[in-house]
Amino acid sequence: MSVADLMIGTGPVVQAVLLTLAGFSIGSWGIILYKLVQISRARRESERFISIFWESKNLAAIHTASVGLKSSPVAQVFRAGYQELLQLTRAKRSAVGAETFSTDLGGIENVTRAMKRQTNVELAKLEKGVPFLATTASTTPFIGLFGTVWGVMTAFMGLSAAHTSNIQAVAPGIAEALITTAFGIVVAVPAQVFYNHLATRARELATEMENFTSEFLNIAERHFLS
């Protein structure tokens, strides 16, 4: 008997377990492929933005360039800080008609809060869906084990009803039951591997956002908020 024959020949409970595992597998692979593309694009555009940021000395030009880098979390953090900095300088100039800015309106603290808030938003986007992979990795082996236990129990109950102790009578049922454990492991392993990979890449981007925030705040405080 082939594996397909064994799967088709299983009972309704074991088939339900197999369908559940198939659902987890489809969902996890969908998330894996989507997140790989998303994080790859985020890294690529962030590297491009950081290069533009350090090559240009005009914040307005950098802001214009960041418009086309919507997938870059670092660019979005910059935009949040730049918009807050712009509002603060305009408010101060409107109030006192001066070209310099003091910390009377909160200054650096306002910009810091805006950038940290956007960092949290971008990190939530990067991590969205990733916990499902951890759930899949930790849950599917036990779901598969349940199917195996149920299948073995059913096989031995059939053996008892047949009033025979021949192993050949119970072997097909046990083979069918063991498929669910194997399937559960097949679903769990890639989910765990890619969960670790994606979580690591998300943390790296979070570190880039934090480092950029520190650099931008130093520049803003030195040239605009002093």
Kindly state the DSSP code that residue 105 receives in the 8-state scheme: G
For residue 103, what pLDDT is reported?
44
Selection from 189, 182, 98 nearest residue 138 by Cα: 189
For residue 226, what pLDDT is reported?
57
Alpha-helix residue ranges (DSSP H) falling in 67-166: 73-96, 108-127, 130-162
Q: Structure pTM?
A: 0.81
Chain segment 143-155, per-residue pLDDT in tens: 999 888 887 777 7
In which residue ranges of the chain is pLDDT below 50?
Answer: 98-104
For residue 148, what pLDDT is reported?
84
Residue 224 CB neighbour total at 10 angstroms:
17
What distances in angstroms separate CA 5 from CA 179, 200, 223, one per listed residue?
Answer: 11, 40, 73
For residue 167, what pLDDT is reported?
57
Judged by DSSP in three states, 72 sits in: coil
For residue 164, what pLDDT is reported?
55
Chain segment 182-197, per-residue pLDDT in tens: 899 999 999 999 999 9
Residue 171 identity: A
Answer yes or no: are the C-beta atoms of 59 and 82 closer than 8 Å: yes
For residue 178, what pLDDT is reported?
80
Answer yes or no: are the C-beta atoms of 109 and 15 closer than 8 Å: no
Answer yes or no: are the C-beta atoms of 187 and 133 closer than 8 Å: no
What CA–CA distance (Å, rounded) separates 108 from 88?
10
For residue 150, what pLDDT is reported?
81
For residue 115, what pLDDT is reported?
94
What CA–CA distance (Å, rounded) separates 206 from 121?
11
Quick one: the chain helix, strand, coil %, rounded to 5?
A: 85, 0, 15
Tell me the two tokens of residue 90.
């305009």
